[in-house]
Structure 1
């Protein structure tokens, strides 16, 4: 008997996925599977539900939502023997796409039933885990505006990006890694574990979930025309053409922004206020088991 515990965000994406325990029971025969499901009702609730589920020792815990929900569930599972599964019903679904998990629920369920597992790397920014990406700079402001829009669509993300590009003011930062130190006013400081950031867009197309490295992109302050050019390249999935984007493969990064007291970051597409002006980013190789 395979025990599968589902953590469902009922409002992920458009909120029209209609995932329920009764629906799941139709796809998992009771003679082979024990199915339980919990539903989130607020941000961070998935953490509480996952911690309770872990105590029941399921074989798999399935995160049903977008990258934010997946982050909350997976953060509780790092270093455990329980396997993470994903039903991607969010908006961006960057991590699921990198893992080749389809958005069609029935096909994603087939992946769960097949039971093929792998281990992936996990990123860590101070005390927070990330599985897809994290960012300090304009992308944190973009996510803040995107969340405030109340509309999880690509068009809303683009509007948020345009608005943020006019408003964002870079602050001097010191970035240390591999014995090097870079001093820059970063328009964007983006660190990724996966090759997609959602909506099929990517700043790090060469990133791998299992190479023991993070891909870091540093972009200095830009003129208005350069900002528009960058946006065109990101939407066109051709960031490698943007010459001002510096790419680095890193294991550990230390970031300090002396002019700040707190630093706003985005972590897997959710805004976080980190209550310090110093950030440590690192990689935990192959520390999360996933269904693929």
Structure 2
């Protein structure tokens, strides 16, 4: 018998999905599957629920939510043989999109039932894991504003991006990777494991979850006109054509921001305030079994 444990964020995607244990069990015959469900109550609750689920040795743990919920669940599965399933009922759903997991709930449940799996890489920034992307530039401010918006929709993200472009002030940083040491005041430091940020937008269209590499985008301080041009390229998925965007593929990266005490970061689309001015970022190849 296959034991599948579902961790459901009931407010993901504006609470429009109405996932219930009764609905889920319709797809899994009781003679073949043991189904358990838990519902998150707040941010980080999925971590607690997943840790409890892991202690019961399920075959699969399914994250039902957006990239933030997926991050909390997946982070607890690293170092285990438990497979991750994804029901993408969030707003952006960047990781699920990269993995071609359908947003239709019934179809994504069929993906879990099929049992096909791949091994994907995981990223790590200090003590936190990420599976899609992380950043410590303007994107961290955008996510912070987005989290405080009235709704989690694309127009709210665009509004947060426009406001942040006026408010964000660059700070000196020392960025080192491979044999390079760069001193700059970055507008954006974006590190990606996948090829999509969410809402169909991408800064790293050629990034892969299985290549053992992180895709790094560095963009220096910009004029107002250059910010408008960058925004156009972000919406078009053509950041590679923006002349001031540097692209590198790395396995390890260090970032020091000497004038800061704390560092704002976004990790898989969630805002974090890191209690340090130093970030160590690395890739963990083949770290997670995911059903696709």
Task: Give the structure-1-normalised TM-score.
Answer: 0.99
CA distance in 2, matches of 1:10, 1:91: 13
Counting matched residue pairs gives 292
Question: Which residue does the alignment assign to 1:98?
Answer: 98
1:253-268 map, 5 Å? 253-268=253-268
Give the 3-state SS of the residue equivalent to 1:27 in structure 2. coil
CA distance in 1, matches of 2:16, 2:197: 23
* CA shift for structure 1 position 215: 0.2
Question: Which residue does the alignment assign to 1:75?
Answer: 75
1:132-211 map, 5 Å? 132-211=132-211
* CA shift for structure 1 position 57: 0.5
Question: Which residue does the alignment assign to 1:51?
Answer: 51
Please tell me whether residue 25 in structure 1 is matched to residue 25 in structure 2. yes
Give the 3-state SS of the residue equivalent to 2:120 in structure 1. strand
Structure 1 moving runs of 4+ over 4 Å: none
* CA shift for structure 1 position 4: 0.3
* CA shift for structure 1 position 184: 0.8
* CA shift for structure 1 position 14: 1.5
* CA shift for structure 1 position 251: 0.3
Please tell me whether residue 274 in structure 1 is matched to residue 290 in structure 2. no
* CA shift for structure 1 position 27: 1.0
Give the 3-state SS of the residue equivalent to 1:35 in structure 2. strand
1:99-114 map, 5 Å? 99-114=99-114
CA distance in 1, matches of 2:264, 2:142: 11
* CA shift for structure 1 position 236: 1.0
* CA shift for structure 1 position 203: 0.4
Give the 3-state SS of the residue equivalent to 1:46 in structure 2. helix
The Cα offsets for residues 142-168 of structure 1, whole Å up to 9 and x where unpaired, read as 000000113100000000000000000
The Cα offsets for residues 174-230 of structure 1, whole Å up to 9 and x where unpaired, read as 000001101110000000000000001000111000000000000000011110111
* CA shift for structure 1 position 238: 1.3
Which runs of 5 or more residues in structure 1 are unaligned? none
CA distance in 2, matches of 1:100, 1:184: 37
Give the 3-state SS of the residue equivalent to 2:148 in structure 1. helix
CA distance in 2, matches of 1:212, 1:71: 18
CA distance in 2, matches of 1:172, 1:141: 17
CA distance in 1, matches of 2:207, 2:118: 17
Which runs of 5 or more residues in structure 2 are unaligned? none
Question: Which residue does the alignment assign to 1:87?
Answer: 87
CA distance in 1, matches of 2:184, 2:136: 13
CA distance in 1, matches of 2:36, 2:233: 44
Question: Which residue does the alignment assign to 1:219?
Answer: 219
Give the 3-state SS of the residue equivalent to 1:149 in structure 2. coil
Task: Give the structure-2-normalised TM-score.
Answer: 0.99
* CA shift for structure 1 position 8: 0.1
